[in-house]
């Protein structure tokens, strides 16, 4: 279950009030202020358009100015820190909202001020008044009020007898066993899965001294599993709601906490539930709880959600008076959010929570299994969100995946969220599924951690770090990320015992560089594995560097790299310290592959070259042959290699050889041949055949132009190959005089071309090096295709000898050489140049040669 927006689509979140905190504006050239109309959100403009001239709208007036809360986290005293945040927010709101409130009063309207987000809510505002409000300096934006609702549960809540728990048949055997064991032990399977019960037994702490809260549908305050933990319970049968309960909409018929939807009681039960008689459904049953009813029923107005979120910063008495930040909760569970979106949602309030030391935890959403389905606020970088898995440790199909804002991995962590048994109104219990059910496991775990290790209370950064570092890595690459941190499980599956243990020992940094002991160069691809209080691995990059953030303690470090002797050492990391450990690996024994690289096309002599060996598993070694062609390449013995020889002098084709090395060295000589272009030094091209220069500015005798109807609707048929340079581009092929061209960008509207230029028949019966060669200037586009086809039967059948599609083309002057060995000894040979494109450039061709083309040593 997860609260989601009722209105279709999520634009920029609830309220302009929900936008990201505005950064200070840098000084610069003065710019014209936006017109008042430009400050009206598009949805608000549409609402006024639908309402007509006399219509009104409920809206938010968002101010641009924000309080500076940067110094609050530095304050050690919790009460002072909370008061500093609230005072700063209120002072900013009082100072900046007064012109808006006055304008509303002058218009006969009453606004409700929200200091946590520096915004004013006002109902029934005519458009002309909205425009006046937008014109007030300091007003950033006006947005319409929106509505949210509780999403239908993934597994419908069905009240069941207190001791009964029926595993669902769809679960795998391992998950069924976990559920059965939970039913027999009296500890909810999720509580046991994250090892909360082991924290209780090992530390004696159950969340004592901490206060958790939820913004939800309310809570049944006297539920057997929740009544003892309610902060308003006086112990004598009476209850105090001051500072412990807030119902901004007045939905509950009495002053006492209620839950008319069931969702809030269920999430609260997972955080702290325990009836004291064996029904242990909560992670931190020693903590106290308070709550604010952000949702009236299964729908949630933005005014109630924002009021509830603001109240968490400074709870009030039952009359909404005498706010006291010292009574704020430590942790707030938020099993609500938008449909898939990265838009800011109450983000300035969330930043204020963090400034005050309140740890907010958010559901990631129930819109899986597709990627990019996380919803705000959980999808935002600043917030900590939770995915859901079942009793077998498998991610739930419904659990939303990331990435979130700006590619941030989401969820941050995963927790039990399938078939979670917890409290519901009426003093009953039910099994539900959703990221709503997973999130309170994390919220409760934070309370348990802070109770066992109070030095982390209010330190949100270190708390996140402990949760992340100790989460059980669960690889899943379907939505990106790494095995250790991916967009399905986040950092992994929650382990609160490991977090508490790590918090007790403290954290430390370990870093270093892996090098080759013989040369001192950094080694890429080396694996550094540490074993101790944590088990982690790191693979080095090009710089050879590695780095870990670890729980302090004694570690064994093992470093491996292909072709090197494994290095091992031990190291003790101090609490809150750092250590540097360089690793120099000795190469394993090598044998030499030696030989000489020479010219194999007639000139002879040695060639300088790069020699590269690859073993088939991604490992490569390289050496350089000198001017005489001699090389020596040290390699690992008893392996097979593919060795590539590439001349560093231009004009030679590379060559590859398969080499199987034994325990001894080996010699491999290689002769490289001149490439088809014949640009190697000391070589010349010899041609024996026919050349067409296209110099007559018309179709040459024996040649044909064939234009194919492209059958593209709404475009006229266009002429194809031409010989008069209709685009006046000039001959840039490298040839001179006339040339053939198909000019897709010049020829008429639509510029559609599908055209062939076909040669006469050539007798190549005495040829042994048959080649087609031509000068060209090819300006392509993404949808253009060029090719050369060859026919051996005078044009009855064709095969493609060369083709190119799209970029990069061949800007002139350029030469295209296409060997056609199939034409050797044939008497009825034709070839054709085919161009296909639409408004996609041109292809100019000149000096088209057909016959024997050889590359031979020149006299000099």
Under DSSP, is residue 213 helix (H, G, I), strand (E, B) or coil? strand
| DSSP code for 822 | G
Dist CA 557 CA 570 (whole Å): 6
Residue 389: phi and psi, rounded to 5, are: -130, 165
Under 8 Å between Cβ of 310 and 114? yes
From residue 788, alpha-carbon distances to 417, 723, 778 in Å are: 62, 19, 14
Residue 20: both structure tokens together = 């990201």
Q: In degrees to the nearest 10, what's the CA dihedral of 196, 197, 203, 206? A: 70
Q: Cα 703–707–709 angle (5° rounding)?
A: 165
From residue 138, alpha-carbon distances to 15, 82, 114, 142 in Å are: 16, 27, 16, 12
Dist CA 518 CA 190 (whole Å): 53
Continuous segment of H or E residues that includes residue 821: none
Dist CA 628 CA 597 (whole Å): 8
| DSSP code for 765 | T
Under 8 Å between Cβ of 73 and 81? yes
User: How many CA atoms lie within 13 Å of 734's alpha carbon, on the beta-carbon side?
Assistant: 16
Residue for token digits 């390449």? 633
User: How many CA atoms lie within 13 Å of 855's alpha carbon, on the beta-carbon side?
Assistant: 20
Residue 571: both structure tokens together = 């190291």
Rounded to the nearest 5 percent, the helix, strand and coil shares of the chain are 20, 35, 45
Q: How many CB atoms lie within 10 A of CB 849?
A: 21
Residue 348 CB-density burial (10 A; 0-12 exposed, 13-18 middle, 19+ buried): buried
Dist CA 89 CA 85 (whole Å): 6
772 CB contacts (<8 Å, ≥6 apart)? 788, 790, 801, 817, 818, 820, 831, 848, 849, 850
Under 8 Å between Cβ of 335 and 3? yes
Q: Which residues are catalytically annotated?
A: 216, 263, 436
How many residues appear in the chain? Answer: 860
Dist CA 215 CA 127 (whole Å): 33
Under 8 Å between Cβ of 248 and 406? no
Measured between its terminal Cα atoms, the distance across the chain in Å is: 84
- CA 267 remoteness from chain centre: 29
Dist CA 396 CA 464 (whole Å): 23
Under 8 Å between Cβ of 345 and 20? no
Dist CA 570 CA 554 (whole Å): 7
Helices (H), 296-359: 302-313, 347-355
Q: How many CB atoms lie within 10 A of CB 774?
A: 27
Residue for token digits 């000019």? 743
From residue 832, alpha-carbon distances to 596, 705, 757, 786, 848 in Å are: 43, 9, 5, 11, 11
Dist CA 732 CA 722 (whole Å): 16
- The closest alpha carbon to 846, from 739, 741, 773, 772, belongs to 739
From residue 700, alpha-carbon distances to 776, 790, 800 in Å are: 18, 19, 23
């Amino acid at each position: 279950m997860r609260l989601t927006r009722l209105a279709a689509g999520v634009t920029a979140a609830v309220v302009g009030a929900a936008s990201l905190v505005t950064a200070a504006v840098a000084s610069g050239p003065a710019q014209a202020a936006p017109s008042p109309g430009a400050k009206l959100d598009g949805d608000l403009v549409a609402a006024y358009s639908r309402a007509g001239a006399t219509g009104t709208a409920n809206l938010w007036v968002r101010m641009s100015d924000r309080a500076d809360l940067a110094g609050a986290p530095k304050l050690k005293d919790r009460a002072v820190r909370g008061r500093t945040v609230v005072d700063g927010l209120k002072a900013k709101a009082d100072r900046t909202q007064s012109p808006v409130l006055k304008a509303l009063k002058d218009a006969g309207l009453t606004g409700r001020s929200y200091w946590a987000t520096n915004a004013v809510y006002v109902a029934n505002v005519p458009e002309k008044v909205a425009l006046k409000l937008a014109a007030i300096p300091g007003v950033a934006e006006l947005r319409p009020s929106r509505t949210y609702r509780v999403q239908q549960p993934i597994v419908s809540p069905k009240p069941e007898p207190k001791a009964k728990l029926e595993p669902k048949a769809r679960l795998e055997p391992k998950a069924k066993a976990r559920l059965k064991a939970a039913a027999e032990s009296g500890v909810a399977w999720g509580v046991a899965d994250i090892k909360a019960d082991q924290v209780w037994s090992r530390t004696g702490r159950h969340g004592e001294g901490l206060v958790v809260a939820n913004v939800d549908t309310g809570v049944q305050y006297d539920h057997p599993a929740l009544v003892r933990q309610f902060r308003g319970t006086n112990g004598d049968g009476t209850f105090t709601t001051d500072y412990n309960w807030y119902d901004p909409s007045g939905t509950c018929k009495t002053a006492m906490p209620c839950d008319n939807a069931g969702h809030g009681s269920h999430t609260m039960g997972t955080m702290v539930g325990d009836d004291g008689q064996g029904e242990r459904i909560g992670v931190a049953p020693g903590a106290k709880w308070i709550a604010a009813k952000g949702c009236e029923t299964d729908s949630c107005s933005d005014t109630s959600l924002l009021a509830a979120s603001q109240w968490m910063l400074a709870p009030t008495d039952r009359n909404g008076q005498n706010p006291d930040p010292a009574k704020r909760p430590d942790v707030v569970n938020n099993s609500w959010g938008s449909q898939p979106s990265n838009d800011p949602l109450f983000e300035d309030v969330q930043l204020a929570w963090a400034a005050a030391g309140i740890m907010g935890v958010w559901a990631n959403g129930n819109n899986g299994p597709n990627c990019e389905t996380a919803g705000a606020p959980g999808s935002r970088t600043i917030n900590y969100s939770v995915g859901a898995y079942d009793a077998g440790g498998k991610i739930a199909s419904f659990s939303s995946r990331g990435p979130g804002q700006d590619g941030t991995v989401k969820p941050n962590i995963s927790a039990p969220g399938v078939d979670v048994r917890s409290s519901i109104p009426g003093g009953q219990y039910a099994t539900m599924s959703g990221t709503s059910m997973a999130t309170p496991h994390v919220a409760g775990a934070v309370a348990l951690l802070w109770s066992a290790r109070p030095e982390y209370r209010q330190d949100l950064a270190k708390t996140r770090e402990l949760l992340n570092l100790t989460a059980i890595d669960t690889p899943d690459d379907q939505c990106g990320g790494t095995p250790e941190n991916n967009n399905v499980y986040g950092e992994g599956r929650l382990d609160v015992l490991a977090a508490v243990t790590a918090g007790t020992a403290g954290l430390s940094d370990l870093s270093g560089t892996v090098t080759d002991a013989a040369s001192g160069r950094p080694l890429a691809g080396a694996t550094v594995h540490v074993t101790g209080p944590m088990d982690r691995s790191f693979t080095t990059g090009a710089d050879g560097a590695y780095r870990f953030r670890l729980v302090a303690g004694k570690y064994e470090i093992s470093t491996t790299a292909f072709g090197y002797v494994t290095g091992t050492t031990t190291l003790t990391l101090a609490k809150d310290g750092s250590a540097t450990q360089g690793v120099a690996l000795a190469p394993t024994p090598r044998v030499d592959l030696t030989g000489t690289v020479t010219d194999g096309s007639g000139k002879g002599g040695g060639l300088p070259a790069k020699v590269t060996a690859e073993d088939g598993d991604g490992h490569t070694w390289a050496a350089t042959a000198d001017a005489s062609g001699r090389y020596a390449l040290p390699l690992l013995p008893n392996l097979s290699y593919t060795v590539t020889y590439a001349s560093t002098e231009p004009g030679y084709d590379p060559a590859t050889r398969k080499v199987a090395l034994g325990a001894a060295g080996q010699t491999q000589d290689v002769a490289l041949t001149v490439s088809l272009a014949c640009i190697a030094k000391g070589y010349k091209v010899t041609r024996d055949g026919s050349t067409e220069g296209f110099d007559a500015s018309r179709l040459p005798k024996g040649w044909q132009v064939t234009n194919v109807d492209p059958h593209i609707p709404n475009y006229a048929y266009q002429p194809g190959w031409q010989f008069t340079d209709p685009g006046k581009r000039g001959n840039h092929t490298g040839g001179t005089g006339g040339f053939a061209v198909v000019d897709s960008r010049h020829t008429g509207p639509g510029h559609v071309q599908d055209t062939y230029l076909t040669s006469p028949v050539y007798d190549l019966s005495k040829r042994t090096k048959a080649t087609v060669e031509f000068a060209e200037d090819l300006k392509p586009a993404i949808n253009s295709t060029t090719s050369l086809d060859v026919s051996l039967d005078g044009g009855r059948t064709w095969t493609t000898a060369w083709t190119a599609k799209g970029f990069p083309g061949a800007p002139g002057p350029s030469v295209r050489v296409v060997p056609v060995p199939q034409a050797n000894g044939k008497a009825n040979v034709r070839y054709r140049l085919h161009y296909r494109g639409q408004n996609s450039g041109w292809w100019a061709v000149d000096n088209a040669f057909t016959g024997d083309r050889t590359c031979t040593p020149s006299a000099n």
